[in-house]
Amino acid sequence: FYEDNGYLLIKKLISDEDIERFRKKFVRICNKEMNPPGVLIMRDEIHRPNVVQSEETVNKVHDFWEDEGLFRNCTLPE
């Protein structure tokens, strides 16, 4: 699977509660409801004035180690 897709998918490794917590925080960052220090937001280049930044246009969130809630996903024992 990794050779074909470039990633591993391990279902149910992280609890549904943790996934939902991370998802909600991601959406809040995408919607500019919060701005954690040092976070870099990568999004599709959209040059239309009426397009609002949302979870639909953000590809990745980088450099989130200063945010305890986001960095928690990197420190889970699973």
The residue segments making up the domain with residue 25 are 12-74
Residue 26 lies in a domain: yes
Q: Is residue 17 included in any domain, yes or no?
A: yes
Question: Domains in the chain: how many in total?
Answer: 1
pLDDT at 52: 62
Can you give the pLDDT at residue 53?
Answer: 63
Secondary structure of 29-61 in HEC code, one letter for each residue: HHCCCCCCCCCEEEECCCCCCCCCCCCCCEEEE
> Is 32 part of a structural domain of the chain?
yes
- The DSSP element (H or E) to which 62 belongs, if any, is strand 58-62
Residue 4 within a domain: no
36 within some domain: yes
d(CA 42, CA 23) in angstroms, rounded, equals 16
Digit-coded pLDDT (tens) for 4-51: 999 998 888 889 998 898 889 888 888 888 888 888 777 766 555 666
Residue 7 lies in a domain: no
| pLDDT for the residue 50 | 63
5, part of any domain: no
Q: 16 near 30, Cβ under 8 Å? A: no
Within a domain: 44: yes
